[in-house]
């Protein structure tokens, strides 16, 4: 039996001036709506000793509508793209999942919110998302490296515009630039 490879997440973000510009760029590049805009509430968990953060790993519960997703992300290899192991499982009861994590000494350490709309190009496996966050609007391209490069060019971006930082890191940078004390990246 052949060894299976863990699922990988390979992605970049691209900053845009607003949601209207993002939608215009995606349409012009041949992307079509595949999943309507939805509000996402994301909570990152860690132990009291920040064991996961220190190892470059992440444990997240995302609630989008009634459904939730538990995500584990391994340490990221940062280069031209962010590349990391990603394992996910769906849940119909995100609050119960959060309660279970607390019983295992996983505590909420950071919350972030966004509105996400998903787009695809016909016959292609990559995913483009339009993410509206409290600190800016981003297009996210996830797929094989060649697919990412081709579609970034179609959208009018060069490699110099690739962002590999997490939303947590983008939020921390935003707070530094604006002299704001970091708390959680939420709309309220």
Q: Could you read off the pLDDT of 2-18 as tens digits, one per residue?
A: 455 669 999 999 999 99
DSSP assignment letter at 180? -
Could you give all domains of the chain from N- to C-terminal order, each with its CATH number? 8-178 (2.40.320.10)
pLDDT > 70? residue 78: yes
Q: What is the pLDDT of residue 64?
A: 94
Helix (H, G, I), strand (E, B) or coil at 100: helix
Cα distances from 64 to residues 16, 43, 70, in angstroms, run 23, 12, 12
Q: What is the pLDDT of residue 6?
A: 67
Q: What is the pLDDT of residue 4?
A: 59
How many percent of the chain have pLDDT more than 70?
97
pLDDT > 60? residue 113: yes
Structure token digits, residue 135: 């600190």
Evaluate whether 185 touches 35 at the Cβ level (below 8 Å).
no
Output the CA torsion sign for 151, 60, 42, 178: negative
CB contact set of 107 (below 8 Å; sequence gap of 6+): 45, 46, 47, 48
């Amino acid at each position: 039996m052949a060894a299976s490879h863990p699922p990988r997440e390979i992605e970049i973000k691209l900053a845009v001036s607003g949601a209207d510009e993002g939608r215009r760029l995606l349409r012009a590049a041949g992307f079509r709506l595949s999943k309507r805009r939805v509000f996402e509430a994301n909570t990152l968990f860690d132990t009291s000793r920040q064991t996961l953060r220190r190892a470059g790993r992440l444990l997240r519960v995302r609630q989008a509508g009634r459904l939730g997703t538990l995500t584990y992300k391994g340490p990221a290899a940062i280069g031209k793209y962010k590349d990391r192991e990603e394992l996910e499982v769906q849940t119909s009861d995100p609050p119960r999942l959060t309660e279970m994590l607390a019983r295992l000494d996983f505590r909420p350490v950071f919350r972030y919110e966004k509105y996400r709309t998903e787009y695809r190009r016909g016959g292609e496996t990559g995913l483009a998302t339009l993410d509206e966050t409290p600190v800016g609007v981003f297009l996210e391209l996830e797929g094989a490296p060649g697919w990412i490069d081709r579609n970034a060019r179609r959208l009018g971006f060069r490699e110099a515009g690739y962002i590999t930082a997490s939303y947590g890191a983008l939020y921390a940078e935003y707070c530094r630039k604006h002299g704001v004390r970091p708390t959680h990246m939420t709309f309220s």
